[in-house]
């Protein structure tokens, strides 16, 4: 969420945002591996065909992921030349992170709408996806929501006035994209993620509630509630409501194993996130006396 802020508002945002970047790769790497494992357990018959559909996108994603982590190493631990300073390296990090997000959002958008997908031939066409009315609004809407909520997460109070209009614009575009992807996705349930998403910047605008909504535990709970409420708009369908996901969901004894792995892995991931936030807090406290 902070990548756009680092690109456009380096001086105003770097001090708070960079504290969260250096230790993040352990969390994101663990989450990625855990997500692949539980997805394989949940949908064993669809993971390989889906990987074939998005082979090029996944390859680009992995290359950019390595590039992203490399910029962290160079930015923190390797001596820089005059032409490659701390700021440039983290702006490279921001660009690679934004590109990663766009690739992931493109995949999610096509899974929801089915745009650009040819299941029988086993390929994903980017031009066809771009030609769909809901594709670009989906990407722009998600990016605007991320940019709008970033100041809340990082506690950047100077950006307080822009959080609500930017987030609201993102919500509007996202709602439009859902309608264009499939009008049947826009049900009364969509009010839940809309209200929760708008509520966050509204609370951030007021001094009494800004600290509450910027609390990492509160923010994470609200973000999780938003994502889960959105999933019910789509589930159990995929690819433009042409595929019933339940037909590919694991069953029998594997269901129990899936629940156990999900519970254990979720706990381990939560512990890692806790230590990650502790590390960030310690780095911030260590810097305060010097300030």
Where exactly are the structural domains of the chain? 3-287
- DSSP strands (E only) in 85-242: 117-118, 123-124, 237-238
| Burial (Cβ within 10 Å: 0-12, 13-18, ≥19) of residue 163 | buried
- Within 43-125, residue ranges assigned H as helices are 47-53, 55-77, 86-113
| Burial (Cβ within 10 Å: 0-12, 13-18, ≥19) of residue 156 | buried
pLDDT on residue 288: 63
What predicted TM-score, i.e. pTM, was given to this entire model?
0.86
Q: How big is the chain, counted in residues?
A: 291
Handedness of CA 65, 66, 70, 73 (dihedral sign): positive
From first to last of the 291 residues of the chain, give the pLDDT tens digit. 788 888 888 888 888 888 887 666 667 777 777 888 888 888 878 878 888 899 999 999 989 988 887 877 776 666 556 667 778 888 888 999 999 999 999 999 999 988 999 877 888 999 999 999 999 999 999 999 999 999 999 999 999 989 999 999 999 999 999 999 888 888 899 999 999 999 999 999 998 999 999 998 899 899 989 998 988 888 878 888 888 888 888 877 778 888 888 888 888 888 888 888 888 888 777 766 544
Paired tokens of 130: 């771009």
pLDDT on residue 291: 44
């Amino acid at each position: 969420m902070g990548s756009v802020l680092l690109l456009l508002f380096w001086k105003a945002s770097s001090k708070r945002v960079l504290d969260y970047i250096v230790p993040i790769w352990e969390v994101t790497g663990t989450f990625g591996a855990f997500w692949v494992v539980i997805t394989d357990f949940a949908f064993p018959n669809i993971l390989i065909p889906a990987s074939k559909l998005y082979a090029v996108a996944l390859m680009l994603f992995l290359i950019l992921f390595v590039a992203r982590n490399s910029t962290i190493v160079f930015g923190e631990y390797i001596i820089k030349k005059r032409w490659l300073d701390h700021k440039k390296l983290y702006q490279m990090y921001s660009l690679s992170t934004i590109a990663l997000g766009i690739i992931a959002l493109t995949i999610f958008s096509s899974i929801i709408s089915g745009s650009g997908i040819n299941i029988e031939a086993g390929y994903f066409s980017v031009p066809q996806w771009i030609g769909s009315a809901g594709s670009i609004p989906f990407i722009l809407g998600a990016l605007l929501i991320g940019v709008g909520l970033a100041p809340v997460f990082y506690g950047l109070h100077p950006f307080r006035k822009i959080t609500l209009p930017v987030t609201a614009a993102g919500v509007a575009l996202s709602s439009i994209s859902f309608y264009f992807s499939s009008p049947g996705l826009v049900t009364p349930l969509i009010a839940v993620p809309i209200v929760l998403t708008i509520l966050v910047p509204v609370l951030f605008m007021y001094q009494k509630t800004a600290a509450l909504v910027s609390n990492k535990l509160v923010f994470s709970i609200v973000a999780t509630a938003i994502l889960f409420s959105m999933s019910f708009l789509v589930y159990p369908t995929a690819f433009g409501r042409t595929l019933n996901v339940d037909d590919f969901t694991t069953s029998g004894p594997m269901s129990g194993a899936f629940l156990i792995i999900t519970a254990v892995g979720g706990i381990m991931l939560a512990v890692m996130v806790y230590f990650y936030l502790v590390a960030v807090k310690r780095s911030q406290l260590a810097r305060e006396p010097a300030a």
